[in-house]
Amino acid sequence: MRFPRDRETDPNHFYFVDFERHNSEIASFHLDRLLGFRRAPPVVGRLLNMTSEIYAITDDDILKTFFVSPANNLCFHGKCSYYCDTSHAICGHPDTLEGSFAVFLPSKEVAPRKSWRHPWRRSYHKRRKAKWELNDDYCSDIRRTPPYNKGRRLPDLMDMAILDFFIGNMDRHHYETFLTFGNNSSPLHLDHGRGFGKTRYDELSILAPLYQCCLLRRSTLRRLLGLHNGAEPLSSQMRRSLARDPLNPVLVEGHLEALDRRLHIVLEVVRECVGQRTADEVIILDDA
């Protein structure tokens, strides 16, 4: 891992330059299940021996990126578009490394997927804002735009926004669906490496789909209320779920406590929506 569990996102960093965290991928899978979505492929953590499990079997291009650090630890940086250089290397202790492993999705030859640009995508620019950040009535345009004008897709994005808010993920630029099912397929919940970076700060703009559209499935609301009013807090359920992972503790206590606080915030947003409109307008049946 690049840094300890308790290292938080640098407040001076933009969301698009934040490092990715393997423990965020693990925790997001567990949270996705607890929220009742079950749209994230299973992810598990484990310890790797870099010498026998990576260096000994990898190809020449990756081999060239291995080196021994001044602290005598085995490091590599791989090949990618960003952060693949010596100054951003991943190092073992001395060659033991934590990692997260996700279940492989079927190949695109077997089960083709379609990538969609997320309507609430951020600008990925230091000075520009996205359209939704400048227009409070942005959702009215989205409601008239296929595939969000009918079927399940728009409610699915509300669920995705809630998951992203819980984990603090601002990096949702695209999402994927299985092509075979057309617009009746739920989006896959993938790529959560930039979550769980802040324990004390809640990024409310992640909930923009929810508070701009004021739309939520009845089953999602029922699950959120059950977690809020139940005998066992969400933080406790999450702690118990993560205890089964080989890399437990996956999250520091601050991130677990933040889940309870953010659950209350989500329900407050829903309450405000119902106050502005009517419950029948905001809370929809699951087949809507």
Catalytic, 286? Answer no
Q: How far apart are CA 262 and CA 259, in angstroms?
A: 5
Tokens of 33: 């299940």
Is residue 116 helix, strand or coil? strand
97 assigned ligand-binding residue = no
The residue from 61, 171, 202, 245 that is catalytic is: 171
- Consult the annotation and say whether 102 binds a ligand: yes
177 close to 236: Cβ distance less than 8 angstroms: no
Q: Is 191 annotated as a binding residue?
A: yes
CB 75 within 8 A of CB 69: yes
105 known ligand binder: yes
> Can you say whether residue 95 is alpha, beta or left, with left for phi > 0 and alpha for psi between -120 and 50 degrees?
alpha
267 is annotated as contributing to ligand binding: no
What is the set of active-site residues?
171
- Binding site for Mn(2+): what residues are annotated? 20, 191
- Binding site for ATP: what residues are annotated? 20, 102-105, 176, 191
